[in-house]
Amino acid sequence: MSVTPEKKAPGVRVSGLSVVYRTPAGELPAISGIDLELVSGTITGVVGESGSGKSTLALSLLNAVQSPGRISAGSVEIDGLGDVVRLRGEELRKARGRHIGYVFQAAQNSLNPLKTVGKQLLDLGRSHDVADLRGLVRDAKDLLGRMGMDGARVLDSHQHELSGGMRQRVGIMLALVLNAHLVVLDEPTTALDMITQATILRIVREVHQERGLTTLVITHDLGVVAEVADRLAVMYGGQVVEQGPTMEVLSAPRHPYTQGLLRAIPRLLGDIDEARALPGRPPTLGTIPAQGCVFRERCVLRMDVCETERPPVVVSGTSIVACHAVEAGAGAAAGDRPAAPAPVEVPEVVGAQSATGVHEGRGEQP
Amino acid sequence: MTAPVIAAGGGRAALRRNFWRGVWRVLKRKPSRMVGMVIVLGFAFMGVFGPMFYPDPLPRDTAALYAPPSWEHPFGTDFEGTDVLALLVTGSRYVLLTALVTAVITVVVGAAIGLFAGFRRGRWDTVLMRITDMKLTIPGLPLLLVLSTIWKFTSALEMGLVLGLLGWGGVARAVRSQTLSLRERGFIEAARGLGLSTTHIIGRELLPSMAPFVAMNMLIAVTGAVYAQVGLFFLGVLPFEANNWGVMLNLAVFGGGAMSSPAALPYLMAPLLAILLLTLGIVLVVDAMDEIFNPRLREE
Amino acid sequence: MTMFARRLAGHLARGLVMVLVVTTVSFFVIRSVPGDPMAARYEKLVEQGMSPTAAQRAVEVLYGFAPTGSLWQQYVDYMSGLLRLDLGQSLMVPGVGVSTVLFSAAKWTVLPVLAGTLLSFLIGVVMGVYAAIRRSGRLGDVLAISGSLLHGVPQYVLALLLGAVFTTLIPILPTSGTADIMFEPGFNAGYIGSLIEYATLPVLTYALASYGGWILAMKSSVVTVLGDDFILAAELRGIKRGIVFRYVARNAILPLFTILALSLGMLFGGAIFIERIFNYPGLGLMLIDGINNRDYALMGGAFLLITVAIVVANIVADLFYSVIDPRVRSGEGAR
Amino acid sequence: GSTGDKPAAGGSGSGGGLYTTIDGLKPGLDVNGPINPWNPKGNAFLGFNAMRIAWSKNHLTDPNQFYPGIAASWEIAPDNSSITLHLHPGNKWSDGKPVTAEDVKFSIALAYTQGSTAFAIDPGAAGAASEVEVVDEKTVKITQDMDNPSVTFVRGVMDSYIVPQHVWGSVLPADFWDKLKAARGEGAEAEKAREEITALSEKVLAFAPPKDVSAGPFTLERMNPSEALLVKNKNFYNAANVGPDQVKMLNYTGNEQIWNYLIAGKLDNAPFTAVPADVMKRITTTQGNGVVKGYSPVSLGMAFNQSKKPYDNVHVRRGLAYLINRDEVTKIASPEGGTPAVTTTGIHQKPAAEWLGADLAALEPYKLDVAKAEEEFKEAGLKKEGGKWTLPDGTPWKFTVNVPAPFSDWISGAKAVTSQLTAAGIDAEVVTTADYPLYLKELAEGKYDVGFWLIALGPAPYNIYQRLYGVSNGWSILGGKLKHAEPGKNGNWMGGPETIEVDGAKVNPGELTAKLNSASGDEQKKIIGQLAKAANQDLPVVQLWDYVNTQFVNTNRFTGFPENDSDLLRQPSGVWIQLGMVKKKQ
Amino acid sequence: MITGQNITKTFRQRGSVLAGREVKALRGVDFAIEKGGAVSFIGESGCGKTTLGRIIAGLESHDSGEITIDGVAMSSLKPRRRQPYFRRIQLIHQDPYSALNPTRTIHQTLNAPLALRARQTGRPSLWVDGRAEELLALVGLDPAYVLPRYPHQLSGGMRQRVVIARALTVDPEMLVADEAVSMIDVSLRLGILALLKDLRERLGVSVLFITHDVATARYIGDDGELYVIYRGQVVERGNVDTIISDPVHPYTQSLLSAIPVLHGLERPGEQPVVPTEALNESHHDAGCLFARRCPFRTERCESEQPLLGRGEGFPQEHACFHPERRSVVATPIGLG
Ligand SMILES: Nc1ncnc2c1ncn2[C@@H]1O[C@H](COP(=O)(O)OP(=O)(O)OP(=O)(O)O)[C@@H](O)[C@H]1O
Ligand SMILES: Nc1ncnc2c1ncn2[C@@H]1O[C@H](COP(=O)(O)OP(=O)(O)OP(=O)(O)O)[C@@H](O)[C@H]1O
Ligand SMILES: [Mg+2]
Ligand SMILES: [Mg+2]
Ligand code: NI
């Protein structure tokens, strides 16, 4: 390793973060009041279903929420940078790339198709006033080599000459080459096949350790998080409903959504009859309840108070849960595998509660 | 299982009502679209009913040749002393009718060829697209100039036929590529897998998906036809019998000296402004087309 | 490079077939143009005071240049002439080769139209970028709508409007011709100034007419590219705005170059109305003249020229694309 | 830039200044065209650098009056059997070589290849020359073949272009005259010789001298697609009296260009053009602009296809004539360029008055008269139902008049006619045809019911009436013999009967017309009187307006232009200049 | 019963007139699907799963080999006559959005094939509406809510159910579900899987399940068969559970090793297999196709092609010269 980390991995504290999108129906919150801490030097995983606001959260860390969205409240404190939400213009630009590396959700297309990787690397260097461009190229080659690729060849290639896995690794390289110590990976393995996914996840873990990073991995696949993350945050309807050390959350989920989610994941071994789909459907921007608990409509432990009041945050040790039921102790037994019986066939829609048709981000993709 | 049965007829009517409500919503979203719609409808009205407001033949006032604009003659009079506005209004029917015929032929032929080539693929596709290429390579206007001496486009229908037959190339190509991409969409494949007839697939599945596209092309073809036709009349290569905008242009410039003296200028400007306005209307309406035919955008 | 050569060979083969077919079709279409040019010439001569018999004889002499033989024979003669790059003799200017006539007319079409196209391309592209960036604002709307309007309005309307303004209302620009004869042709300020002055209206019309298309094309291209992930990715890497802008511009302008090449191919046939209205002695005017005089060889030559230009432009556009776009260059196919 | 920073046309030019005009003989100048007077797009400008032996005065009744051209003077034998030309004694070509009788003879040889009345190779052609004789250096005698003489022989000779033999010499073979002699004989030998001469015609037509060598007042200096510049020929015999030093000859594609030039005051002279009234007003208000009007030997007629019903009926034609208000039509269509025809005679009003004298007044004037029209229609069996005229069998009558699209004054005229007829209860409309060639073809094929047709193409009487009773109405002269073709055949589209009734007597108008070729003096006058009466009663056409030769002059820079009604208005302004009329304004 | 023998398929990509590129998507695949049975195909991206599924559903032609439906060889029939056979095999598309026509309501979408069905079977047209509701109820949707809606007004899971309902309109014998759950939200996936399983049990529809997520294959039924496909070849075939717990082909083992471990709930497998290099389609075809990437390759693998077959006491068929059971999958902690 030629690059020796001189800076310490920064810690990140997200507090009260809310992002709204302007829609024909007015400004709707995609995430609301998120509190999250990325402990220095750890990998934090965020899971959530499509539309739960994961990418929005990730972009907020760089204060890069795209119009028609905007950060409406809250702060993102990064060690050594301060509150990113307040950064503007050049300051913000310099922070991106140098302090915070971002690996794109669709890393497949995160490269300029007309320029070779090497040229884009030089653009990056120039943008951040790197004096020693030769050194930068050397570092890039080292990093690529570290990830199992022929650095010189890759730098000479155009995007279309690289496979999906290679592009993703190039994306990681570009996020790290300026020595950023906070790395945000948004769905780093979606659209890759399993073997490549495993490779990328291994690389993420290794690089994280070697370079001493603070890493945020965002994914909809619980398995991916479980594989790499030290800590885990579960998002639902724009809120973090549970967070804690991965082992703890997985082995003893306390929030009914986490429990349901775990039970809904197909497993390789074990009794298949134990698995159950979650009833109902995930909320979208237009259907997220404005008050009360976002999960209540699909919740087996639903209480009257869930209708009106936002669940309180229950802290126990290093894990945090936001649920009325947990607070009331109903979730006491949650440590065990819940085996609440659910009907095999659950009609997806009950009544007209979700009559307003709002398109989902996912469905729009051709 | 106990859910109320939706009567098919009622459902359809409701759908139709919803459609028009959606259209209204789309138009309301931008005032410019309203303006466009009003303009286009205005021209349609003018084409259909305009001539009824004037006596046939139009009155002449030989004492007032090329009279300047006035309250009585907002655009002045022509070389015979006929009111230019009256000429414009009565002349619109021929122009718009031909344009409509042309547009229909252009779009029908273009869409049919494009659909067929895109749907059949293979050899048919190759042959048809080669022909289309060829058609697009032969220069249109010069060809029209030559053709207009060979054929006499005396009726609106004939004229539309020729303009349409010359104009389908672009539509065909675009429809084909649309068809090719839609073909790959799951729902077309599913329909084939279900054994639904080709007519159903093309008529009910493909065409509605291309409706905005086809409608847009249709509108553009209308303007294109108006231009080609008026232009040919202006150049004087088409035989004319009734008055129409192109003839007005021709007579204003080559007979009335509108490019040399201001007297015939109103006579020249009237059809020019009509064309400008029609174009503006269509441009503004085309802007809304995509949203009108897309149920998702319509209802937002 | 072999990829390139293969592509070129394929294109040339297809283009040749295309030219052949179009030539054949236009040959027969042109020969079926009815009308009696001899009678028209005769009328003219008689009108000028020539006696009917003399006029008859003179017309026969004039039309000695018209090809003879059966239609099929004429076709064979014409095609074999083409092989020798001989386009035949003009009837309108008897005894002068069609290629000479075409060439002298072509330069008066190509230069102004080229100037107009490039001018409108440059302005249109810049405004297109602007319209794309401001697409949700009022200015963007205005730019887009005016672009559509200009794109939609036919050339002759623009030409007539400009003509009415600059020659009738404020007569400051000449409406016909190429230059003032008082200036010795060549590289002298007077002649060139006069050339520019005479070309102003045609060029302006052409530029205005094509400007709308460019602004629309560039706008939609930029909007597409702005939505591409790699632009956001570049911003998230903290790439400087200028560089990001270059990313956008280069990616957005790429498809426009193809359109540019194609429209340059079209320019040979593109200016009939403008030339007629401003009496600019280019190909369009020559073609009208050719038709009016039933100068078959000249019409055929003009069609051939236009077709070849389009075919060549197509080939150039494609090859050019394959050179500048790395995706096509390596044979992956355009996105 | 504006027009200000260009050298003003004329004005400050050196010497005699710059004279700007337009080549009225379309198809006009062409950069590719050779400097060759026979080539229709040749850049030889009549009277400026292209010279004829002499310039016709276009006298109303006497075709044999001329102004000097290459020839200074001439003697015409009383029976028209020969003409002797005397060249200007010191005249030289622009390159300094003298203009000789040989040049004239050589040019006549060239004329043979191109065909002309006087120099036709086919034996038996009327009014052809039988011999061309160089009498001396400056004298040539041309003799007519008196087997088949024509009154137009002299005019045919005088109209010949003269070009320098030392420039054009290579075009003809040395044995040309022998060949010609052979060609004028009979048999296979002659046939072959004729073919050889015909083959030469293309060569002549295409010949492009490297530079202009002229015996005219100017030579061509340079040109671009829209303009040509001519400079004074110092060797021209009358150079001392030639006003302008330079001539700018403008090309034009549309009349509107001429209008614009005129409004801008750029033209010192412009030939006749149809001009809308308001444009005219603007032109005349431009400083220095003036209008000179004179006789133009041509009229416009609305011709009927008599093989179509109901136009075969003379009463229908007369009825229509009564319904057309020629004053109004002329006012709308050609306010400046025409005068309403007094009546239909087949002749322009001016020569008509000369030829017919008091008889003219006796002809039916066909003044607007609805009552008379209805009478005529009723006589023809037409019926009026609900305000609309129908054919005798009750079918609707649709009156369609065709005109070629490029002729805007014709279109306006036709529109005015149809408007008038519509007002009178006839369902009338105008249909245009894309261009003139197509118009003539379809007209000749008998496709139109009614079309516009130029008539009265003077001044030669035969030329005048052959428009009404010539090929287009069935009569043609082949090998000196008159033939009549059936309607619809051999270009007979008018389809009139072979004999018509005039004042109760049967007349064959075609025969009368043919006689005009050789008749002279009183006989000629008598025939014309008969034909005028025939045309007036039979109405193969309704004569709408007589063209007026309206020319524009600008006296800011030059003076001495012809006056109203001058003969010279029918010659290009180059002739005025070479005659020494046009002078630089002092 | 549907069988296929030695199905091959090569795609020729036309670059220009002269240049071209070939992709061998299938290299001789045999399969057999019982009535009411469940078969799953797994494999890396681009291995030919979709192609095979489409060939079976009659949507794609194949170059050689034979497909037999109920004992009738398809090659013996004219293309027109094959249609009724293939109609019994319905494809469920991966992307439930593009599988539904966005301009048509669910009512219209279901009605078209039902009306056709009614015409073919001589049922009254009234039957159509009733049947549509019946089918929607069968897939767990509320007909009153769903019928009048456009696809964009439904969630992914609902759309996928509608797609299944539409496939059921023609009373198919087999459903080909190509990645039918991969675009559905995690919490809803099991619902679709359960539905497929339920349809199998209740209607006797056989299911061909194509996936890259081995775990989901189990949920179609524990009697299901699993085909592991690599570069157009079946490399291992047998009972789902057997292969998951005891894979013998190194490729199957690499696939299973790559599945992320739910740390905290699972323990990683003890002998994970990682391929020595990434997939490269242009690798030579001689010998074992996996040889280049196989950590256990022998010289024989380089030159000789292993054939699918049973042997050496393994319950499943495999195509490997050195088969060996390895414990690669993670085991749930609770199960020890
Ligand atoms: N540009 C936008 N305009 C309007 N709404 C948006 C926009 N971008 C995102 N949203 C909405 O915000 C919510 C959160 O979106 P986000 O992209 O953060 O979700 P995600 O969890 O990343 O989903 P996925 O797994 O699909 O990537 C969604 O409901 C989405 O519809
Ligand atoms: N229409 C086609 N034309 C050309 N090549 C094709 C076509 N369809 C598939 N292929 C190629 O055939 C191979 C197999 O494709 P297929 O789609 O069957 O793979 P798959 O296993 O379904 O992959 P995935 O898991 O990505 O869906 C791939 O290399 C693909 O590129
Ligand atoms: Mg996302
Ligand atoms: Mg697939
Ligand atoms: Ni366009």
Task: Please name the helix (run of DSSP H) or strand (run of DSSP E) that holds residue D300, with its range, or none.
Answer: strand D289-304
Distances (CA, A) of D259 to A119, C275, D28, D280: 63, 18, 17, 8
Q: Of C31-40, C141-150, D542-551, E164-173, where does mean pLDDT reach its minimum?
A: C31-40
Gap between the Cα atoms of B287 and E11, Å rounded: 41
For residue E231, the distance in angstroms to the closest alpha carbon of chain B comes to: 23
Regarding the beta carbon of E20 and ligand 2, being less than 6 Å apart is answered no
For chain B, percent of residues with pLDDT exceeding 90: 2
Question: How much is the mean pLDDT over chain D?
Answer: 87
Distances (CA, A) of A243 to A47, A250, A297, A331, C184: 10, 10, 21, 15, 87
Label residue D489 by pLDDT band (50, 70, 90): confident
Q: Report residues whose beta carbon is within 6 angstroms of any ligand 1 atom.
A: A 21, 23, 30, 48, 50-56, 68-69, 220, 284-285, 361-362
Q: Does the CB of B147 have a partner CB in chain C at under 8 Å? A: yes
- The answer to whether D580 and D242 have CB atoms below 8 angstroms apart is yes
> How confident is the model at residue C329, as a pLDDT?
58
Residue A341 has pLDDT above 80, yes or no: no
For residue D262, the distance in angstroms to the closest alpha carbon of chain B comes to: 10
pLDDT per position as a tens digit, A4-60:
444 578 889 999 999 999 887 788 889 988 999 999 999 999 999 888 899 999 999
> How confident is the model at residue A354, as a pLDDT?
34
Label residue D315 by pLDDT band (50, 70, 90): very high
> How confident is the model at residue E14, as a pLDDT?
58
Angle between helices C283-292 and B140-150 (to 10 degrees): 10
Burial of E202 (0-12, 13-18, 19+ CB in 10 A): exposed
Q: What is the mean pLDDT of residues C183-205?
A: 83
* 3-state DSSP of B38-85: HHHHHHHHHHHHHHHHCCCCCCCCCCCCCCCCCCCCCCCECCCCCEHH
Q: Does the CB of C152 have a partner CB in chain D at under 8 Å? A: no
Gap between the Cα atoms of D464 and D60, Å rounded: 12
Gap between the Cα atoms of C199 and C271, Å rounded: 13
Gap between the Cα atoms of E288 and E306, Å rounded: 6
Gap between the Cα atoms of C102 and C104, Å rounded: 6
- The answer to whether D110 and C61 have CB atoms below 8 angstroms apart is no
If one compares C110 and D543, the residue with the highest pLDDT of the two is D543
Instruction: Kindly list the strands in the beta sheet with A100-103, ordered across the sheet, starting from the edge strand earlier in the chain.
Output: A100-103, A182-186, A214-219, A43-48, A231-236, A239-245, A319-322, A313-316
pLDDT per position as a tens digit, E42-88:
998 888 999 999 999 888 889 999 999 988 898 888 888 888 888 88
- Residue D257 tokens read as 């260009």
Distances (CA, A) of B251 to B84, D320, D490: 12, 26, 35
Per-residue pLDDT of chain E (336 residues), as tens digits, is 889 999 999 987 654 444 456 788 899 899 999 888 899 999 988 889 999 999 998 888 899 999 999 888 988 888 888 888 888 899 998 888 888 988 888 998 999 899 988 888 888 888 888 899 989 988 888 888 888 888 888 888 888 899 999 999 988 999 999 888 888 888 888 888 888 888 898 889 999 999 888 888 888 877 889 999 999 999 999 999 899 989 999 999 999 999 988 887 888 888 888 888 887 777 677 888 888 889 998 888 888 888 888 877 888 899 989 888 898 888 887 654
> How confident is the model at residue A230, as a pLDDT?
92
Closest CA to D71 of D187, D180, D161: D161
Q: Count CB atoms within 10 A of the CB of residue D229.
A: 18
Task: Please name the helix (run of DSSP H) or strand (run of DSSP E) that holds residue D399, with its range, or none.
Answer: strand D398-404
Q: Which of E22, E29, E47 most suits a substitution to test ligand 2, by most atoms within 8 Å of the C-beta?
A: E47
Q: B195 in the Ramachandran plot: left (φ > 0), alpha (ψ -120 to 50) or beta? A: left
For residue C149, the distance in angstroms to the closest alpha carbon of chain D comes to: 29
Q: Do chains D and C touch (3 or more CB pairs under 8 A)?
A: yes
> How confident is the model at residue B300, as a pLDDT?
57
Distances (CA, A) of C280 to A89, B260, D221, D340: 54, 17, 22, 36
**Is E190's CB within 8 Å of A350's CB?**
no
Q: Count CB atoms within 10 A of the CB of residue C170.
A: 9
Sign of the CA dihedral with D347 first, then D351, D353, and D359 last = negative
Provide CB contacts within 8 A for D315, sequence distance 6+: D376, D377, D379, D380
Closest CA to A286 of A22, A25, A20, A17: A25
Q: Count CB atoms within 10 A of the CB of residue C324.
A: 15
Gap between the Cα atoms of A351 and A356, Å rounded: 12
Global pTM reads 0.81
Distances (CA, A) of E322 to C325, D384, E250, E301, E325: 47, 110, 9, 9, 10
- Residue D485 tokens read as 């073709």
Gap between the Cα atoms of C132 and C224, Å rounded: 9
For chain D, percent of residues with pLDDT exceeding 90: 42
Q: Does the CB of B284 have a partner CB in chain C at under 8 Å? A: yes
> How confident is the model at residue A344, as a pLDDT?
38
> How confident is the model at residue D561, as a pLDDT?
92
Gap between the Cα atoms of D353 and D356, Å rounded: 5
Closest CA to C7 of E20, E12, B133, E18: E18
Closest CA to C214 of C266, C148, C301, C153: C148
pLDDT per position as a tens digit, B243-297:
788 888 888 888 777 777 777 888 888 889 998 898 888 888 887 777 777 766 6
Sign of the CA dihedral with C139 first, then C144, C145, and C151 last = positive
**Is A114's CB within 8 Å of C232's CB?**
no
Residue C202 has pLDDT above 80, yes or no: yes
Structural domains of chain A ordered from first start: 1-99+180-351 (3.40.50.300)
Label residue B131 by pLDDT band (50, 70, 90): confident
Regarding the beta carbon of E145 and ligand 2, being less than 6 Å apart is answered no
Beta bridge partners of C137: none
Strands D139-144 and D161-162: unpaired
Beta bridge partners of D231: D219, D246
- Residue E321 tokens read as 């010269």
> How confident is the model at residue C107, as a pLDDT?
86
Question: How much is the mean pLDDT over chain A?
Answer: 82
Of these ranges, A164-173, A215-224, B169-178, D177-186, the one predicted with the greatest mean pLDDT is: A215-224
Q: Which chain B residues touch D if contact means CB-CB below 8 Å?
A: 57, 60, 62, 65-66, 79-80, 148-149, 154, 236-242, 250-251, 253-257, 259-264
CA of A53 to the centre of ligand 1 (A): 6
> How confident is the model at residue D55, as a pLDDT?
92
pLDDT per position as a tens digit, B82-98:
888 888 888 888 888 88
Residue B4 has pLDDT above 60, yes or no: no
For chain D, percent of residues with pLDDT exceeding 70: 97
- Residue E53 tokens read as 């599924």
Beta strands in D308-387 (DSSP E): 338-340, 383-385
Give the amino acid at E298: T
- Residue E50 tokens read as 């979709």
Q: Of D251-260, D343-352, E140-149, where does mean pLDDT reach its minimum?
A: D251-260
Q: Do chains D and B touch (3 or more CB pairs under 8 A)?
A: yes
Maximum Cα–Cα distance across chain D: 79
Provide CB contacts within 8 A for D220, sequence distance 6+: D35, D43, D44, D45, D49, D212, D214, D228, D229, D230
Maximum Cα–Cα distance across chain C: 88
- Residue D74 tokens read as 């001439």
CA of E49 to the centre of ligand 4 (A): 6
- Identify the residue among C30, C168, C268 best suited for mutation to test binding to B, counting B beta carbons within 10 A and taking the highest: C168
> How confident is the model at residue B176, as a pLDDT?
87
- Tell me the three state secondary structure of residue D546: strand
Residue D382 has pLDDT above 70, yes or no: yes
Gap between the Cα atoms of D472 and D456, Å rounded: 14
- The answer to whether C31 and C296 have CB atoms below 8 angstroms apart is yes
Residue B52 has pLDDT above 80, yes or no: yes
Backbone angles phi, psi at D288, to 5 degrees: 90, -20
pLDDT per position as a tens digit, A140-150:
998 888 888 88
Task: Please name the helix (run of DSSP H) or strand (run of DSSP E) that holds residue E203, with its range, or none.
Answer: helix E186-203
Backbone angles phi, psi at A284, to 5 degrees: -115, 175
Q: Of D5-9, D218-222, D457-461, E3-7, where does mean pLDDT reach its minimum?
A: D5-9
Q: Of A129-138, A160-169, D63-72, where does mean pLDDT reach its minimum?
A: A160-169
- Tell me the three state secondary structure of residue E332: strand
Supply the Cα-derived Rg of chain A in whole angstroms: 21
Residue C330 has pLDDT above 70, yes or no: no
Gap between the Cα atoms of E266 and E264, Å rounded: 6
Label residue D347 by pLDDT band (50, 70, 90): very high
Q: Do chains E and B touch (3 or more CB pairs under 8 A)?
A: yes
Gap between the Cα atoms of A350 and E140, Å rounded: 11
pLDDT per position as a tens digit, A50-104:
888 999 999 999 998 988 889 999 999 998 888 989 988 888 898 898 889 998 8
If one compares D133 and C324, the residue with the highest pLDDT of the two is D133
Atom nearest to E53 CA in ligand 2? 18
Strands D269-270 and D541-554: antiparallel
> How confident is the model at residue E68, as a pLDDT?
92
Residue A334 has pLDDT above 70, yes or no: no
Beta bridge partners of A234: A47, A242
- Residue B37 tokens read as 């719609």
For residue C212, give the ligand nearest its CA: 5
Task: Please name the helix (run of DSSP H) or strand (run of DSSP E) that holds residue A249, with its range, or none.
Answer: helix A246-251
Backbone angles phi, psi at D65, to 5 degrees: -115, 135
